[in-house]
């Protein structure tokens, strides 16, 4: 039931928890209301009978994940009022109209309809627990109760939940459809929401896709194998894990201090004139650590899927809000990964990202995606494969290290912590700046329960077999 304001009949859901004291507890999340927050300004077109404008999905929008993604923000008291948050959201939606629209399918193809439907805002409360008791900054199933259900097909692009705890803390569970915006576009919208709530200028409005953008060259040249990278020929070559496998997966948060990262970079970059980045170094270390913990056969091949932003490569401004990401796929055998130094893994990542992070690669993809081969050959986006329960022997890594998530400030200060929701897919890893704010990094790593102790034992060791350092 939809309301413009006021309350819904109170609904609640309960989940058994294990506190640090090992006593069983129950958190009851009461859903109080659900409403649509529409953009503050009406469209500039005064003809109310005119058809709403559409933003056609680009080749990058179509090849990315067609799912709702969730992120958790926790704010210590005093938290901003719901009225203030909704007023700021309405202003931000007026500038970022794609987030207030709907995904539709036209004869010309899928698009975002700019009909100003609005964002769905769900209000909830927890009266029987403090935030620190039930949802500290660790990956737990309880997080699923703090944002709208990702398994439900929402009509809105943005659906969020405001959950207020007994202690006065506020959790903002924000979800947005990935086909509309990538991580950079979404984080820019969130920062704009905070600035609007504080009465500040939101800066330049976002740029969106249009028909003339990302066109194939006059003489198309497909120079790379996009059929086996961004696309694949169904049926999927990967077996879907059983539910029994999924239930044995735990999400472990590994915390890497600034000093540990510095020592790790020194070990990986020994003798090089230019050190590897902290991202390359940490990812190389995690790749080796989880591979060792998995106990894979030496001749198996392990591949990482990681995102590469194409804005700089194609000369598109940073405020471009839709998807503009392709993927690098560094790979090697388990034997080489574990017997060669950390430098070997870091170099593989560096070289593969460098190969994809090139205007030629992105333009080759555009030429291929516009060629008609995808439909003719029945190809499907390989990004959908991240929905598997188990990626072993592979990894998929989402780096949020450079996104300004901690810049979201509603007028009561930065969030106490920001984290992804609970995604128990073995091998699906998120990297984030630690909420401590000292340059350390948190890695959210789903592993099989049987492999967790082995992962933890070597996770904080700089030297592994094969390292010369």
Tokens 């350390």: give the residue: 440
pLDDT value of position 385: 57
Would you say the C-alpha torsion 178, 180, 183, 186 has a positive or negative sign? Answer: negative
Residue 202: inside a domain: no
Residue 252: inside a domain: yes
pTM (2 d.p.): 0.90
Among 161, 181, 65, 80, CA closest to 119? 161
Q: Is the pLDDT assigned to residue 286 strictly greater than 90? A: yes
Mean pLDDT of 228-255: 75
Rounded distance between C-alpha atoms, residue 365 and residue 379, angstroms: 14
Would you say the C-alpha torsion 94, 100, 103, 105 has a positive or negative sign? Answer: negative
Q: How many CB atoms lie within 10 A of CB 3?
A: 11
Does 354 share its domain with 272? yes
Does 236 share its domain with 375? yes
Report the mean per-residue pLDDT for the chain.
Answer: 88
Residue 217: inside a domain: no
Among 455, 409, 462, 457, CA closest to 429? 455
- CATH number, domain with residue 286: 3.30.559.10
pLDDT value of position 49: 41
Residue 2: inside a domain: no
Does 34 share its domain with 148? yes
Residue 292: inside a domain: yes
Mean pLDDT of 24-28: 65
Residue 239: inside a domain: yes
190 φ/ψ sector (left φ>0, alpha ψ -120 to 50, else beta): alpha
Residue 207: inside a domain: no
Does 88 share its domain with 230? no
Rounded distance between C-alpha atoms, residue 292 and residue 430, angstroms: 19
State the angle between helix axes of 258-268 and 342-356 in degrees (0 to 180), rounded to the nearest 10: 90
Q: How many CB atoms lie within 10 A of CB 6?
A: 8
Does 72 share its domain with 180? yes
Active site (annotated) includes residue 177: no
Tens of pLDDT, residue by residue over 236-245, are 555 455 444 6
Does 372 share its domain with 268? yes
Domain region containing 33: 11-197
Does 280 share its domain with 392? yes
Does 148 share its domain with 21? yes
Among residues 367, 409, 442, 467, the one annotated as catalytic is 409
Does 237 share its domain with 139? no
Residue 42: inside a domain: yes
Mean pLDDT of 13-32: 55
Count: domains in the chain: 2
Among residues 178, 209, 285, 350, the one annotated as catalytic is 178
Active site (annotated) includes residue 178: yes
Give the rounded percent of residues in the chain with a pLDDT score beyond 90.
78
pLDDT value of position 71: 96
Does 191 share its domain with 292? no
Does 385 share its domain with 435? yes
Tens of pLDDT, residue by residue over 145-195, are 999 999 889 999 999 999 999 999 999 999 999 999 999 999 999 999 999
Does 185 share its domain with 304? no
């Amino acid at each position: 039931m939809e309301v413009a304001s006021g309350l819904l009949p109170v609904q609640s859901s309960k989940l058994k928890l294990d506190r640090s004291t090992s006593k069983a507890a129950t958190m009851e999340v009461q859903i109080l209301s659900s409403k649509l927050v529409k953009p503050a300004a009406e469209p500039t077109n005064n003809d109310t009978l005119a058809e709403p404008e559409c933003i056609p999905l680009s080749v990058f929008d179509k090849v990315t994940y067609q799912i709702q993604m969730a992120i958790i923000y926790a704010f210590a008291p005093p938290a901003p009022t719901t009225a203030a948050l909704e007023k700021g959201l309405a202003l931000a939606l007026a500038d970022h109209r794609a987030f207030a629209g709907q995904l539709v399918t036209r004869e010309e193809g899928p698009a975002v309809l700019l009909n100003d439907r609005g964002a769905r805002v769900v209000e909830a409360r927890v009266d029987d627990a403090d935030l620190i008791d039930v949802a500290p900054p660790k990956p737990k199933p309880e997080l699923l109760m703090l944002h709208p259900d990702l398994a439900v097909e929402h009509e809105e692009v943005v659906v969020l939940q405001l959950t207020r705890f007994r202690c006065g803390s506020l959790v903002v569970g924000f979800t947005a459809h990935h086909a509309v915006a990538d991580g950079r576009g979404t984080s820019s919208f969130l920062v704009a929401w905070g600035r609007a709530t504080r009465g500040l200028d939101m800066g330049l409005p976002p740029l969106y896709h249009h028909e003339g953008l990302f066109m194939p060259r006059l003489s198309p040249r497909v120079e790379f194998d996009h059929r086996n990278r961004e696309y694949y020929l169904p049926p999927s070559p990967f077996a879907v894990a059983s539910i029994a496998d999924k239930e044995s997966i735990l999400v472990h948060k590994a915390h890497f201090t600034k000093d540990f990262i510095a020592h790790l970079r020194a070990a990986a970059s020994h003798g090089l004139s230019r050190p590897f980045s902290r991202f390359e170094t940490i990812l190389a270390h995690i790749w080796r650590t989880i591979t060792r913990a998995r106990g894979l056969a030496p001749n198996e091949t392990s591949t990482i899927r990681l995102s590469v932003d194409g804005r700089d490569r194609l000369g598109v401004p940073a405020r471009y809000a839709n998807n503009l990401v392709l993927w690098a796929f560094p790979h090697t055998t388990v034997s080489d990964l574990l017997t060669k130094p950390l430098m070997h893994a870091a170099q593989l990542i560096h070289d593969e990202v460098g190969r994809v992070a090139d205007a030629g690669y992105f333009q080759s993809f555009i030429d291929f995606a516009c060629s008609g081969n995808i439909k003719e050959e029945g190809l499907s986006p390989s990004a959908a494969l991240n929905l598997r329960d188990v990626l072993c022997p592979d990894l998929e890594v989402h780096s949020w290290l450079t996104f300004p998530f901690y810049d979201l400030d509603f007028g009561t200060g930065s969030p106490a912590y920001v984290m992804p929701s609970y995604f128990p897919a073995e091998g699906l890893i998120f990297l984030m700046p630690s909420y401590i704010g000292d340059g350390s990094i948190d890695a959210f790593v789903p592993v099989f329960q049987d492999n967790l102790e082995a992962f933890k034992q070597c996770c904080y060791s700089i030297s592994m077999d094969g390292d010369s350092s």
